[in-house]
Amino acid sequence: MNPNQVERKKNREGRKSCALLWDESFLWGLMAWRALTEAGLSFDLIRSDDIRAGILPRYAMLFVPGGWAQAKLRSLGEKGQAEIRSFVENGGSYLGICGGAGLATQSDIGLLSVSRKSFQERVPSFSGPVRLSLAPHAVWENIKSPVFSAWWPLQFRITSQNDLRILATYDEAQADAFSADIKVGERQTNGWSELEESYGIFLDPQRLKDEPAVIEGRFGQGKVLLSLVHFDTPGDQNGQAVLRNLWQYLSSDPDWPIQASRAVKKQFMADTCPECQKTIMDIKATVDTLITMGERNSLWYWRNSWFLQWRRGIRGMEYSTLAVMTGEIASYLRHNCLGGSNEGNIPAESSDLYQDLAAIKELVIPFVKKAKILLAREKSFLATAVLSPVHCSDEAISRLRQELHGSSIRHGGKFKELILAVDRLLYQLISSDQSLLR
């Protein structure tokens, strides 16, 4: 072993197991945090600023969850992207799920010789449980029935298999999966072609069969594992088993469970910051009225605790994200605030927490008011015509969409401003909680 290899081995042995990149993940970051916590895995939340500051060598692996890859690239900047490449090249492991997998492709950070199929070539709106066909590998240990969740995945185009190994391919979509707003189990096999012509996109889940779902390769000395299925779906026992296997395989950490931590005294937030409690309840009540309106107008319903199932053309992902993330903050603050003493019991009006909540409330009230107007107009439009989530011939709808959501399918407009504020506060609450529990 040469001196450089000895030094790399020494550095690896001193690393913590995993850094989870929070930025530009939103709902996907919250899901990943919850799933890793449920699986009992050790990890730290980090941000793009941390990566640019050189934090990655402290860890054995970097996990990048879902979200728009282009937004992640902008958040990282050239410095952050270079830090990730250097980290993996020098022996670190990279785990990317969905958008995090897209971030590692050839045209983005470029960790593997793989690209993404265009929107027109893939099945862009598939979501739900799907059976995989597995190649022998350590990550599948103890998986007897390989059914996992895929949530609107991209599709790989493998340009060279010289440095790649396909660990799993798609097999069969399960009956309770959806393609766009169509339930797979309620559709006859020969009925997809007409729907595809009507929708103008590929819908038939059979088009996914034998497509790569999980791939592995090397970049320099490091391992890169990219998955289009969400092992980080909370409550998924199969997913938890794979995550545990991944922690052992990618971080070389046989002691992946979180060790028992000291108890932390908690105080009820209503006692220490009643104005904060009132403000978050106002925020949650405002968002709840929006969700209820959509339900009453048959624009969506709750598919599970994380996602709405929305009608074609409605921006349901944004409303799911807003409801779940504000609900998570409300749940956290309703039950307790960490600290354990009254030293931090300062007047609510001057606290950082109150200021953050007040800023979110100031954004959410006008957003919800205009979103209700938009949804009412979209419902009327749907009575006579097909609706795209981005383009609409109705000028009033187009103006409202531009203001609230921007001009593309990615998060934008007033929604992006609002969800960034929600995201910042949620990160602060979760990361401060984790630091106290270490």
Q: Which of 11-25, 156-170, 293-307, 391-405 has the lowest mean pLDDT?
A: 11-25
Task: Render pLDDT for 356-377 as a digit per residue (tens, 0 to 9).
Answer: 999 999 999 999 999 999 999 9
Q: Cα–Cα distances in Å, from 394 out to 82, 244, 372, 406?
A: 44, 50, 16, 16
CA distance 1 to 280: 57
Count the alpha carbons within 13 Å of 102 in the hemisphere toward its beta carbon.
Answer: 20
Indicate if the pLDDT at residue 229 is higher than 60.
yes
> CATH code for 3-251?
3.40.50.880
**Does the pLDDT value for residue 344 go beyond 90?**
no
Question: Is residue 95 within 8 Å of residue 64, measured between CB atoms?
Answer: yes
Mean pLDDT on 312-318: 96
pTM, to two decimals: 0.91
Shortest CA distance to 140 belongs to which of 213, 242, 233?
242
- Mean pLDDT of all residues belonging to the chain: 89
Any alpha helices (H) in 336-394, and if so which ranges? 352-382
155 Cβ contact list (under 8 Å, min separation 6): 116, 117, 121, 122, 123, 208, 211, 228
Rounded Cα gap, residues 231 and 32, in angstroms: 9
What are 31-72's pLDDT values in tens digits? 999 999 999 999 999 999 999 999 999 999 999 999 999 999
What does the pLDDT read at residue 202?
96
Predicted pLDDT at 216: 98
Segment 112-122 shows an average pLDDT of 94
Q: What is the spatial distance between Cα 146 and Cα 155, in angstroms, rounded to a whole number? A: 19
Alpha carbon distance 269, 328 (integer Å)? 15
How far apart are the C-alpha atoms of 124 and 228, rounded to whole Å? 12
Share of the chain above pLDDT 90, in %: 79
* Phi, psi angles (nearest 5°) of residue 59: -120, 160
pLDDT for 187: 76
Could you tell me the residue ranges of all domains in the chain? 3-251, 266-437
Is 50 exceeded by the pLDDT of residue 235?
yes
pLDDT number for residue 272: 67
